[in-house]
Amino acid sequence: MFRIVMALAAALLALPWSAPALAKATEIQFWHAMGGARGAEIDALVARFNAAQKDVRVVATYKGPYDVVERAVFEAYRAKRTPHLVQVFEVGTADMIAARDLVKPVWRLMVDAGSPLDHGAFVPAVAAYFSDARGRLLALPFNTSTPVLYYNKDAFRKARLDPEHAPKTWYEMPKALGALLDSGAKCALTTTWPSWVLLENMGAWHNQPFATEDNGLGGTDARLNFNTRLMVRWISMLASWYKSGYFTWSGRRDDAEARFASGECAVLTASSSSYAELRRAARFDFGVAQLPYYDDFPEAPQNTLIGGAGLWALNGKTRSEYKAMARFIAYLAQPEVQAQWHQTTGYVPITKAAYMLTEKNGFYLSNPGHQVAVRQLLLRNPTRESKGIRLGHFLAIRAIIEEELEAVWGDRKTPLDALNSAVARGNALLEEFERANAPAGGRARRAKAK
């Protein structure tokens, strides 16, 4: 009796596994960096894809945070055991492009598979980050967001400010911040990811440069040049706000999110993808508004930049594996799939069609916060300064920028000195990156092309 039961159990257990084996599904390894609730969304997305067809089975693996995933790819490459698809954050884009043998450009993958992507369908500010100089997608933008302004409506009411209208410009801001502090707020304005929000995005938003060579999209010989009049003014203003308690520094990561959610800070600049988390954690009514700007800059507001990650296809796979990868990527780019991903995660949609679809369904009426980010990205056609930023050693450059900012708040450097020093130190890294990545071959080819 016992044996029969065991045999039955074994047969039952084997059943779900043997079914795909019979169909000979191509297995695609997909490494990602989404933990927690976002990871669950990826699993659900992959499960829907696997259920929708029988030929391809995607296996999603959480490999740790972004920098760990990128390192895992380095190591996998050295060990010659790379996955098929990998999610790499925007900071690692230059590394991925520089490693020519590692990556199979997505546009080529799709062309080879006979299902080329329509590049015009993508939101330009999103796609540019991951495109080559000719506008072809090197990676599929996957989860992208942009910084927006969050404000505590209850605190605004207490300070007798209009809870439906956050300050539109940085000139209107100090009035509101002062009123908030006077009404008992412990902290007025704070920010997450300072380099991304305060420098990179402020530059693009005012159509001012961050680096030469179209912020590095044009080549590895880019050099930083964000020590502009705009930035000196902006950082000087923040420094004076810091001294008077209008602005609070919450460190280099996203600790500011918790300070806003706890009600301590009344105004926050953070990624649009923080929305879901804030909604869950905040015990008060909050609003989402466009990132403020200086209205005396004629070109502001231009459009903001994205942060987040792209999906890269890796080289050295078989033809059937490439086909399978292309199918998954085509699936992800579908408007319905994109719209759902956008609505559940708060990441911006990568195609205009997904945006339209979400709008048509009336989603934004009940979730106006989700629309702010998309509008910021779609505001104008991206320019050379607002397409995106692609630099080598970008992670280290960000750390340098934040280190210099800390010296400003600590009163050890003037804003101008700090910005100049950040540019000089960052450029030393960029020079090294250029030397390491543009040896004989790359340089010579560039020269010939010119």
- Which residues contribute to the site for another protein (CB under 8 A)? 67, 71, 74, 77-78, 95, 98-102, 186-187, 249-252, 255, 258-259, 262, 264, 393, 395-396, 399, 402-404, 406-407, 409-410, 412, 425, 428-429, 432, 435-437, 439
Cα angle at 113 between 123 and 351, to 5 degrees? Answer: 10
Residues 217 and 127 sit within 8 Å (Cβ to Cβ): no
Q: What angle do CA 334, 335, 340 make, to 5 degrees?
A: 105
Q: How far apart are the C-alpha atoms of 382 and 360, rounded to whole Å?
A: 25
In the bound state with another protein, the residue whose beta carbon lies nearer, of 248 and 376, is: 248
Interatomic CA distance for residues 250 and 257, integer angstroms: 9
> Could you tell me the smallest distance in angstroms from the CB atom of residue 384 to another protein?
26
Q: Which residue lies nearer to another protein by CB, 181 or 429?
A: 429
With respect to another protein, which residue has the nearer C-beta, 63 or 393?
393
Which lies closer to another protein via its Cβ, residue 210 or residue 433? 433
Closest separation in Å from C-beta 398 to another protein = 10
Tell me whether residue 445 is exposed, middle or buried, using C-beta atoms within 10 angstroms of its C-beta: 0 to 12, 13 to 18, 19 or more. Answer: exposed
429 contacts: CB under 8 Å, gap ≥ 6 = 392, 393, 396, 397, 400
Structure tokens given for 335? 């408007």
Taking the CA of residue 68 as centre, how many other CA atoms within 13 Å lie in the half-sphere pointing to its CB?
A: 10
Q: Which is nearer to another protein, 21 or 68 (CB)?
A: 68
C-alpha 140/C-alpha 249 separation (Å) is 34
Could you give the count of Cα atoms lying within 13 Å of 112 in the half-sphere of its Cβ?
Answer: 16
The minimum distance between CB 176 and another protein, in angstroms, equals 21
Q: How far is the CB of 92 from another protein (least distance, A)?
A: 8
Q: Shortest Cβ distance from residue 99 to another protein (Å)?
A: 4
Q: Which residue has the tokens 């009404």?
A: 183
Specify the residue, 60 or 261, whose C-beta has the smaller distance to another protein.
Answer: 261
Q: In angstroms, what is the minimal distance from the CB of 47 to another protein?
A: 32
Residue pointed to by tokens 């790499």: 88
Q: Cβ closer to another protein: 99 or 379?
A: 99
Q: How far is CA 246 from CA 231, 240, 266, 391, in A?
A: 18, 8, 10, 32
Q: How far is the CB of 395 from another protein (least distance, A)?
A: 5
Nearest distance in Å: CB 140, another protein: 21
Query: Is the CB of 314 or the CB of 326 nearer to another protein?
Result: 314
